[in-house]
Amino acid sequence: MNFQSYVSGVPTSDKPTFISGAFHPKLTTVSISMRRPFPSLLRSFLRGVGVVAVGSFASAAEPLSYNRDIRPILSENCLACHGPDKAKQKGRLRLDVREIATQPAKSGSIAIVPGKPEASEALLRILATDPEEQMPPPDSGHTLTAAQKDLVRRWINEGAAYQRHWAFEPIRKAPASGNVIDFFVRQRLQPAGLQPSPAASPETQLRRVSLDLTGLPPTSGETSAFLADAQQRGLDAAYEARVDRLLKSPRYGERMAWPWLEAARYADTDGYQNDGPREMWRWRDWVIDAFNTNMPFDQFTIEQLAGDLLPNPTHEQLIATAFNRNNRYNSEEGIPIDEFLLENAVDRVDTTSTVWMGLTASCARCHDHKYDPLSQKEYYQLVDYFNDVAESGRATRGRNSEPWIKTPTPDQRAKLATFEAKVSQARTALQQAEPEIRVAQEAWENDPASIGPALRQGLDFHFTFDAPEERAAAKEKGVELQPGVQGTAATFTDKGYFEIEKIPGLIGNGRFSIAFWMKPDQVESGPVLSNEAAVTIRNGILVEMANGRLRWNINTRWISGVSTIETQRPLKPGEWVHVTLTNDGTQRAAGMTIYVNGEEQAVTVIRNTNSNVANRKEGAAMRVGYSKHVGHWRGQVDELRFYTTRTLSADEARSLAVRETPETIARLAESARTPAQRQLLRIAFLEQGANPAQRDLFSALQKAEVALVAYDDRLPSTMIMRDLPEGRPSFVRTRGVYDALGERVQPGVPEILPGLPRGVKNDRLAFARWLVSPEHPLTARVTVNRHWQLLFGRGFVATPEDFGAQGEMPSHPELLDWLAAEFKESGWDVKALMKRMVMSATYRQDSTVTAELHQKDPENLWLARAPRLRLPGNVLRDQAFLVSGLLVEQLGGPSVFAYQPDGLWEEASNAKYTPGKGADLYRRSLYTYWKRTLAPPTMAVLDAGDREYCSVRQKYTNTPLQALTLLNEPTFVAAARRLAERMLTEGGVTDSDRITFAFRLVATRSPTPAELQVLISALAEYRVAFANEPNAAPAPPKKGEASAAKNLPPLELAAATALANVLLNLDEVTTRE
């Protein structure tokens, strides 16, 4: 088959009308099986007789098309057992492959004998009435209609020509003239006996295109300007100019981002169980920006799928890759890690396949795809592209999960630079004071006995073990103070331990450092330090010896929530070493560092699931040389320091590793001191000996450093794609189960599609480039289809998520292909595509449903009119804010907590919702904080995508809950009150003027006299109602809500608010006509 033959098969002028239903028999799918050969009696009976009723929709004169007429029947009824899924194939018969279907089976019978229906076993079985023979089997619940049976018979009779599925064929541009969209649309209207509708009114066109391109209606100023322009230059010129302005508006990017966020399952929380917060808004802003700057769609694709693999990726290209980190991610305790590593990769494959290829790849997770040529092995080859992410498998609870990067905005980068400048200024100031400092320090060194230990900044606890003390008491006999590095040291044989007081703040999500000298006598195992709880969850920290190496655990729940790192180099038994452990509060192994003798150690990550916030913030007793869970240890520990709020620097770790005390160093001749000793002594001087001016310089530097770290800690981060250097092996999973490993696979693209170019490195970047390669038949079609859907409510392919055999056939295949080809040729220019669509007469026509249209094409499949579509929830809310003057337009930034009723989170979870204030309440809905498991209620009621998984289809429902929301939800009511205020203050003096003013704001047109009359008497009635009912006072604004001007008469405001409430609920206002 080729695509042209398919095209030629669709109705043209002299052929009958096709309606969509005829293409798509709606039946259920089940298993059938070929059992035994067909009885010859019936065979002979059939040979002589005209078999069944004639199908109603494929005219007898017209040759059948496999794709149009036959594939849907086979796919729906037969392919589950006689299709691509090898495991389910019955009798090794495939009906979707001509070479197999026309070969004799073992029994000798042939399923399909081209030109000979009476010899075709498949048809005979379909026609059989004996339950033993019948296909599909009676228990399958499937049955072909008489018309379908006849189609199969005719098709075999005509030679049983097969065609490849249309969507896998190359994209071809059919010749067209004039406006291409209108040309191809009219081609379909004619045979259906339909005419295009006249152009919509200028106001309707303006309102429609404004809502479609920016998600907001025109303001009254914009409307007047447009109408004036149309008067002057003509409607077409004015319209085009307006379209160009809209496409340049930053609101365009905001509008285009919404469906992309739904497709990308973007949210502000992780989506499982406690559904804790994550931070991905920098990616959301990247998307808005990409649409606004009209980033070519191929680049948009490559950067999001594989920006990290581009040579020297920019900060922005890394942010782009958050696309495939938007998936849900489980932080639940005790999850099998491998299970969720697989779920993450699978979600990436399914989302990517749906969004770019319209392929329902997930069907092949458990078995070969039943309808489309995608094997299970091929599915896991796709998984392998997405399986190498350097993630732990368990999400970090309450913050971003690895891999992530800090992603300051340009403003924040500038601010960060000022903090850095302050540090370097402070350092310079200190350096400039060097001559005086040196002189003062020399004098100070003359009294070494007065010099104490150094590095005191943030040093909260320091145990020297130089004398018995209460804060660090030896438990049991056999624990002694014996000579150590500095004075005496805590010394353990294999019993007893030192218990030192509670040390607060040593928690995974806090900064802290621990430093000490140690001499391990026992290196195979044994705890050096532990404040683990005695209970089995063992929350706390544990520093231990393990196979000669030093191992450090931060543990919130053994063993499901632990970060453990271990030095790669072993420690020598009996040798003193200095150890500094630092944590940066990011709850991950990579945030922990071990220094030995001042050198940062290469470490092995043993565990990396420290997802929880440790609950030992108040501290627990620290034991040296013992853990209830590990036992005792032999060795010595000296000079144990706890910095409970700081992450020590490498310099500081080096200074701490100086064996001599500052006092001892001061006694050495200057020339005999090592650089590290000099550094330590300098710090001691600045801390202890400096005069107030010098000390101020030093503390200014320390403060600047603290401020820099504090600012840096608050910068937004974004989860990105970054692969493990060594990758992660991928396997076929039997029945899709994570621990049922099958064959190991390498990355690869499905065979049915064009191959990768020769010689390229077969990685995720190659995959992304392949998607937007000129030969790829799906990406451009699927993308154009989604954009069409955005404007027309339904795509050419009504199943935007499925372009496979089970998906709907395209309503206008030539147009879809033409636009797809043009889209590629234009350099994947999205704005040009959008402009081409909205400039067409098809788009600009009236949406009136005439009786004829309703009768001939109730679903408006052939587009003889524009669709009337209820506005999405986000647009409804934004529109109400805009027309009332409440909208706060501010591009991008962290998500905001819009108004929602109290208790919605609290009743279902342990999270608390605190609405924002002021401007936060009136930002565009795009910026509303989205908790995945408890979505913003207004959006959920108004058909927003779930954000739990990829969603590419807009739902349009019509429910009483939506009515209640639009009537009574407080922000809609606030908008009504503000609109009322505008009526009274800006709308003129008479009721008629005021109503007309408000009506124009919400509907972009003036009311008809009849409408105006209804509204005028309505307003009068409301006035009476409020005057007569003492309790019917105007609603006072709620806390945090915008209040109306104080000087307005309350009664008037109340009545006008009721009227505005009606206006905002008008069908026309909630609809894009």
CB of 312 to other proteins, least distance (A): 37
CB of 304 to other proteins, least distance (A): 22
Nearer to other proteins, 896 or 939 (CB): 939
Nearer to other proteins, 99 or 907 (CB): 907
CB of 405 to other proteins, least distance (A): 27
CB of 1070 to other proteins, least distance (A): 8
Nearer to other proteins, 494 or 948 (CB): 948
CB of 560 to other proteins, least distance (A): 3
Is residue 987 a contact partner of residue 993, using CB atoms and an 8 Å limit? yes
Q: What would the two tokens of residue 918 be?
A: 């002021």
Nearer to other proteins, 356 or 465 (CB): 356
Residue 555, strand partner residues: 540, 562
Give the length of the chain: 1073
Nearer to other proteins, 196 or 598 (CB): 196
Q: What would the two tokens of residue 456 be?
A: 């005191």
CB of 848 to other proteins, least distance (A): 5
Among the listed residues 381, 413, 311, 392, the one whose alpha carbon sits nearest the alpha carbon of residue 344: 392
Residues 6+ apart with CB under 8 A from 976: 880, 884, 1057, 1058, 1060, 1061, 1063, 1064
Give per-residue burial for 92-106: e unless 16+ CB within 10 Å, then b.
ebbbbebebbbeebe
Give per-residue burial for 597-606: e unless 16+ CB within 10 Å, then b.
bbeebebeee
Is residue 1044 a contact partner of residue 1037, using CB atoms and an 8 Å limit? yes
CB of 178 to other proteins, least distance (A): 28
CB of 851 to other proteins, least distance (A): 4
Nearer to other proteins, 845 or 1061 (CB): 1061
CB of 159 to other proteins, least distance (A): 28
Strands 869-870 and 1071-1072 turn out to be antiparallel
CB of 274 to other proteins, least distance (A): 6
Backbone phi, then psi, for 158, in 5-degree steps? -80, 0
Nearer to other proteins, 30 or 119 (CB): 30
CB of 101 to other proteins, least distance (A): 21
Nearer to other proteins, 454 or 853 (CB): 853
Rounded CA gap, 413 and 282, in Å?
13
Among the listed residues 558, 575, 569, 610, the one whose alpha carbon sits nearest the alpha carbon of residue 589: 610
Is residue 622 a contact partner of residue 529, using CB atoms and an 8 Å limit? yes
Nearer to other proteins, 731 or 738 (CB): 738
Give per-residue burial for 474-512: e unless 16+ CB within 10 Å, then b.
beeeebbbeebbbebbbbbbeebbbbbeebbbbbbbbbb
CB of 908 to other proteins, least distance (A): 4
Rounded CA gap, 118 and 49, in Å?
10
Nearer to other proteins, 178 or 960 (CB): 960
Residue 490, strand partner residues: 481, 637
Nearer to other proteins, 576 or 949 (CB): 949
CB of 182 to other proteins, least distance (A): 22
Among the listed residues 350, 389, 355, the one whose alpha carbon sits nearest the alpha carbon of residue 366: 350
CA distances from 616 to 503, 538, 554, 861 (A): 9, 11, 11, 63
Nearer to other proteins, 372 or 584 (CB): 372
204 residue type, one letter: T
Rounded CA gap, 178 and 1059, in Å?
47
The SS3 assignment for 561 reads: strand
Nearer to other proteins, 472 or 1016 (CB): 1016
Q: What would the two tokens of residue 697 be?
A: 């310089």
